[in-house]
Amino acid sequence: MKPIQVFRLGQLPYGQALALQLKLRQEVYESDIPGFVLLLQHPPVITLGKRGKLEDIYNAKKLGEIGAQLFRIDRGGEATYHCPGQLIVYPILSLPRVNLGVVDLVRGLSKALAETVQGLSGLKIHYDTDLPGLWTDETPSRKMASVGMRVSSKVSTHGAAINLSSDLKPFSYFAACGMAHSPMTRLNDYGDAVDVRIFEDQFLENFQSLFEIPFVAGECTLPPSEDWIQPDLKF
């Protein structure tokens, strides 16, 4: 079996990254490769999942001031927010070829993020099945990561977003995951600041343990601007 290629892409506009996801998904459909793992960050953007609605956004003016865009996408869930300082993980994987079910992938991805957080900071976080995402083991519990995926013809897209050093204020401008005033947090509020590259290194080591197939660093050609998916709304 060929290895899973890992692309560490830095910061990409959401429309470019979404076009890349769709391109890579098509490559997995049409070949025998197991897939890809993308690590990246986005400029400010709101994404609305299948249950998301515009009524969940109640301060469009503030979102406009930070240059946020809005995309309606095909993952499950409602509204979420991406920004610099938040690490995004997009696994584009053929589930049969990596010998995983959807639940296995979601739980495995969440476990790898939780192990990385604990290993670097000592903080314990857990996956909540009722409020999908990773929450701190404290009272009151706070949400550090969102998880939302799509599986089409047994190939996954979208994934997870974990707050490392994100500005959390924009989460107050909308109902995150349908929860008004959702209690959000970030890793760097718990001890020393964690370098994104170090977090990525440790996460990849933890995530790879879920698979019998090795990860290898890869390089990809990014979609040109004319192929980017356009936002549904600019605030």
Q: Is 177 in the active site?
A: yes
Number of neighbours of residue 124 by Cβ within 10 angstroms: 11
Contact between residue 42 and residue 11 where contact means Cβ atoms under 8 Å apart: yes
Backbone angles phi and psi of 231, in degrees to 5? -65, 155
Q: Which distant-in-sequence residues (6+ apart) come within 8 Å of 170 by Cβ?
A: 44, 62, 63, 66, 68, 81, 83
Contact between residue 116 and residue 108 where contact means Cβ atoms under 8 Å apart: no
- Rounded to the nearest 10 degrees, the angle between the axes of helix 196-208 and helix 102-121 is 130
- The single residue of 112, 177, 196, 210 carrying the catalytic annotation is 177
**What are the residue numbers of the active site?**
177
